[in-house]
Copies of this chain bind each other. A is one copy, B any other.
Amino acid sequence: MAVILITGGARSGKSKRAETRVRAFPGQPVYVATAEALDAEMEARIAGHRARRGTDWIEREVPLDLVPALVASDGGGPRLVDCLTLWLSNLMHAGRDWEREVTELANALPRLKSPVVLVTNEVGLGIVPDNALARSYRDAAGIMNQVIAAVSDEVEFVVAGLPMKLK
């Protein structure tokens, strides 16, 4: 069992680093995408990630029910969850209880048999946003990152494509 959290800013090389970490484990890798291709900008980004990863990955689109998806795919190859911040955003938009779901994820992760590499974003290092919704999201993301980092075996902070070991 290994739970690895990769955090960093936008376009910092987090996904690429996470793919490298997943590839180091044996078995066919599973790509757990929390993104849904809802607009052209997102579609282009998803296509770019797919082109880089190659075609030997099992792909799962999991915008909301992450824990069941991880349990269902357990026992096989390593999983890449890309990314937790989008999952959080999906939960909030769907009116789900994100704090409970994050706690459930934190409880589930250490019990999984196959490795899981999770990508997340740091979003709290800029100026305080004007609107209350953005502030709530920023706070939620920070809390989620702390909770998941606490149960992870390794945590890396990626800047300019280069990982710093936090744990």
Contacts and interface: CB of A to CB of B under 8 A. Distances in A.
Given A41-B132, A122-B159, A132-B41, A142 B7 contact: no
B159 A157 contact: yes
Interface of A: 5, 7-13, 41, 120, 122-129, 132, 134-135, 137-139, 141-143, 145-146, 148-150, 155, 157, 159-162, 164, 166-167
Contacts of A123: 9, 125-128
Contact of A146 (B13, B124, B137, B148): B13
A85 to B, nearest CB: 9
A71 to B, nearest CB: 24
B159 A12 contact: no
